[in-house]
């Protein structure tokens, strides 16, 4: 078990996400990001399967066929799109019940974006570029699991980051996505 190494990795990742969240005004989300990773349910498998160059969840999945840490994590952290998968009412045309993605609020899409940047920085270290999060996203095939609105916004942010950089994207998020409307409420669209 690599307890200290895993602790340093998840703490460094949390600090990186916290910095990004603070820059856009998501203070509470920055402070509470991924706290479940310190629970025994997530921390023990993380330390057991720690490798340092990728998520321990991948190694646990390869070893036992699933990741107990991930199953715990995704149900407690709203910045993961998997949290937003739900069962709808029965389809009127087919009669089937299928799992569908719900639209994520912008503040959680922004936290997911920050999480992806921080994960790439954590695991790629000096090889990280502004294009890394988009490249990682494009390697996966998750589009069918994202609500179309969620997918469009996440992809817009990742592409913007790749083309114009992190600071430009952060300014866009502050000015356009999380801008306060009159009355103090944040805009979600």
- Average pLDDT rounded to a whole number, residues 163-188: 81
DSSP 100-136: EEPPPPHHHHHHHHHHHHHHHHHHHGGG--TTHHHHH
Which pLDDT does position 170 carry in this prediction?
98
* Location of structure tokens 């998750």: 142
Question: Which pLDDT does position 185 carry in this prediction?
Answer: 54
Q: Tell me: the pLDDT tens digits for 81-133?
A: 999 998 877 777 888 888 889 999 999 999 999 999 999 999 999 999 999 99
The per-residue pLDDT for 154 is 97
Model pTM score: 0.90
pLDDT confidence band for 182 (50 / 70 / 90): very low
Q: At 181, is the pLDDT very low, low, confident or very high (cuts 50, 70, 90)?
A: low
The answer on pLDDT for 188 being more than 60 is: no
> Which string of b and e fits 136-165 if b means at least 16 CB within 10 Å?
bbeeeeeeebbbeebbebbeebbebbbeee
User: pLDDT-based confidence at 179, cuts 50/70/90?
Assistant: confident
pLDDT tens digits for 20-69?
999 999 999 999 999 999 999 999 999 999 999 999 999 999 999 999 99
* Alpha helix positions (H), the chain: 3-23, 27-32, 40-48, 56-64, 68-74, 106-124, 132-139, 148-164, 166-172
Q: For the segment 3-33, what is each residue's pLDDT rounded down to a tens digit?
A: 999 999 999 999 999 999 999 999 999 999 9
């Amino acid at each position: 078990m690599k307890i200290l190494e895993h602790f340093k990795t998840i703490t460094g990742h949390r600090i990186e996400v916290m910095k990004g969240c603070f820059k856009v005004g998501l203070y509470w989300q920055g402070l509470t990001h991924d706290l479940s990773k310190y629970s025994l349910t997530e921390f023990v498998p993380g330390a057991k399967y720690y490798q340092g160059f990728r998520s321990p969840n991948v190694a646990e999945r390869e070893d036992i066929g699933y990741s107990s840490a991930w199953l715990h994590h995704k149900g407690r952290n709203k910045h993961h799109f998997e949290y937003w998968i739900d069962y709808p009412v029965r389809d009127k045309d087919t009669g089937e019940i299928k799992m569908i993605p719900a639209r994520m609020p912008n503040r959680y899409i922004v936290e997911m974006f920050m999480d992806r940047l921080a994960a790439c920085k954590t695991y790629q270290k000096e090889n990280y570029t502004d294009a890394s999060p988009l490249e990682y996203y494009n390697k996966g095939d998750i589009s069918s699991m994202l609500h179309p609105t969620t997918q469009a916004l996440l992809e817009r942010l990742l592409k913007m980051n790749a083309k114009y950089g992190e600071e430009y994207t952060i300014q866009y998020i502050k000015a356009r996505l999380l801008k306060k409307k009159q009355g103090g409420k944040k805009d979600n669209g």
